[in-house]
Amino acid sequence: MYYKYFLENNNTGDKMIKDIMSSKIISSDTNATFIEISNLMKSNNIGFIPIKDKDNFVGVITDRDICLSISKIKNLNETIESYMTKSIISIEEDSNISDALKLMSKNKVKRLLVRKKDSITGVLSLSDIINYSDCDILNTLKSIFSIHDNLKTLNSNVKDFKL
Domains, the chain: 2-135 (3.10.580.10)
Over residues 55-74, the pLDDT tens digits come to 899 999 999 998 888 888 88
Q: Which helix or strand (DSSP H or E) is residue 8 part of?
A: helix 2-9
Closest CA to 134 of 13, 19, 16, 18: 13
What separation, in Å, do the N-terminal and C-terminal C-alpha atoms of the chain show? 21
Asked if 90 contacts 113 with a C-beta cutoff of 8 angstroms, the reply is: yes
Radius of gyration in angstroms for the set of CA atoms belonging to the chain, rounded to a whole number: 17
Closest CA to 2 of 134, 136, 157, 161: 136
Over residues 123-159, the pLDDT tens digits come to 999 888 877 765 555 566 656 666 554 444 445 454 5
